[in-house]
Chain A
Amino acid sequence: MLEIDNLSAAYGSFQALFGITLRVDAGEAVGVIGPNGAGKTTLMRVISGLLPGRAGKLAFEGRSLDRVPAYRVVARGIAHVPENRRLFPKLTVEENLRIGAYMPQARKHFAERLGWVYELFPRLAERRNQLAGTMSGGEQQMCAIARALMSKPKLLLLDEPSAGLAPLVVQQVFDLVRKIRSEGFTVLIVEQNVQQLLELIDRAYLLEVGRIKLSGMAAELKANPFVRQAYLGL
């Protein structure tokens, strides 16, 4: 579904990604793990068009995403839940969801999608008229994921959904992601919380200083001595 081949990216003269090769198949949940500054967020930003790739191939469903601006990438079926949630704080929950359905093809099904999202996340229905910026971190993450689902994506990019949340809330967010998986969405997820992540996904890539160091099935990575020592603290 998503094919990345030998992809490089840079911020000005600072190169952040070096020859990344990665694949996500339809129906899969794939994780990207690695330390701070490894380039995980950069990778997500290149896929969704927020940052142009410098070299290499990036394709979704067989069509190139090279130099496609962000507002067109979402029309292809990729929704990005950005790092730190980035809700519109002075809009209500429902207005945030309305923006999520901004694209012409999503607008037509807005009422139906809204009903579905509220059914999936009843908490958001209770808070529909509350300003998004006044909600708790966990609720904001829920709203950010719901906003992305409003566009009816084929692939969902989740960037650090559990970052900055209390341990109990982290658990709730992982439950949310599990719920979304069970709805049949294909997911590419970046997480610091490696232990929990490996319980949730099919495959994972380990990114270090802009390069893929390891990749494999979740079970293989869990058993890998390096991953166990550096990321699982075992």
Chain B
Amino acid sequence: MDIYLVEALLNGLLLGGVLALLALGLNLIFGVIDVVWIAYAELVMCGMYVVYWLYGYYHWPLALAAVLAVLGVAFLGLLVHQLIIAPILGSPAINQLLATGGLLFFLQSFATLLFGTDFRNIGLRLPILEIADMSISFARLIAFGVAVLGAGALYVFLSKSFLGTAIRAIGQDREIVGLMGVDQRRIYLVTSAIGGALAGLAACLLVLQYDVHPFIGLSFGPITFMICVLGGLGNMIGGFAAAFIMSEIISIGGFYFSQEIGEVLAFVVFIALIFVRPQGIFGRS
């Protein structure tokens, strides 16, 4: 097998880790609260700016900047729920889409106003690993490792803890969880904070590989939504798997043609699959 094809496959796998993390966050919020945060990738953008300013500009330790980015975006998630979602919870889905869509433009414009449209780099150069003629970006390797660890931690939390079990139960019967002492409002807030924290974690990993600018969210927002729909909206395991399917298509398409063609290919595959299975490849009817 062509060693460069192996390299492309490996790079696809590494790219998939971060996308899987984003898909998990979006699916968690959809599955629990039944809303789609259109501005999810813009929360990632905010987290990337936190790391940029704290580490890249003020030279705080990277680990501290990363922790503050995760906590900061988790808090932002709380605010999104409390200020935007909670008041319109019972209203039609289209209103919720419009509200979080509005947040997307607000965050983009606000970032433009504060920071301008410059591309900013945190100025950390991580080495490229050379293994058997393949070049593997160390930043991507770290991103993949941390993303998988984060997803694993989320899995353990959701399957083993009381709070995690309640979070999984609430989407199955919103009324009856109250009879077990579960306060729905509190679960929604916790879920929003976890969704925010996942976006913050993804931000820390992406800022190692990409420059931050106000429109960076557009680079992975749409692909994240495609992944979630492909995996079956709200289906966390489906979304996790779909992330790797999409990232491999992009990566292999990039190997045979070009990066752009790879992304076009991903969209074509997405549209074709949605025609065949509108509920997503892992969704149930």
* Complex alpha-carbon distance, A132 and B244, angstroms: 31
CA separation between A70 and B181, bound complex, in Å?
A: 7
B178: which A residues are within 8 A, CB to CB?
49-50, 69-71, 74
Which A89-111 residues have a C-beta within 8 angstroms of B? 89-91, 95, 98-103, 106-107, 110
Interface string of B141-184 (1 = CB under 8 A from A): 00000000000000000000010011011001101111111111
In chain A, positions 77-123 with a C-beta closer than 8 Å to chain B are 79-80, 82, 86, 88-91, 95, 98-103, 106-107, 110
List residues 140-156 of chain A with CB under 8 A from any CB of chain B.
147-148, 151
Picked from B162, B168, B184, the residue with its CB within 8 Å of the CB of A107 is: B162
List of A residues within 8 angstroms of B179 by Cβ: 48, 50, 70-71, 74, 79-80, 82, 148
Please tell me if the beta carbons of A75 and B176 are within 8 angstroms of each other in the complex.
no
Q: Are A100 and B180 in contact (CB under 8 A)?
A: yes
Interface string of B2-18 (1 = CB under 8 A from A): 00000000000000000
The number of chain B residues with a CB under 8 A from chain A is 17
Q: Judge whether A74 and B180 touch: CB under 8 Å.
A: yes
Residues of B within 8 A of A106 (CB): 181
B181 near A82 with CB under 8 A, answer no
User: What are 22 of the A-B contact pairs (CB < 8 Å)?
Assistant: A48-B179, A50-B178, A71-B180, A71-B182, A71-B183, A74-B179, A74-B180, A79-B179, A82-B176, A82-B179, A86-B176, A88-B168, A88-B173, A90-B172, A91-B165, A95-B165, A98-B162, A98-B165, A99-B165, A99-B180, A100-B180, A148-B179
Which 7 residue pairs are nearest across A and B when measured between Cβ atoms? A70-B178, A103-B181, A86-B176, A88-B169, A74-B181, A88-B172, A71-B183
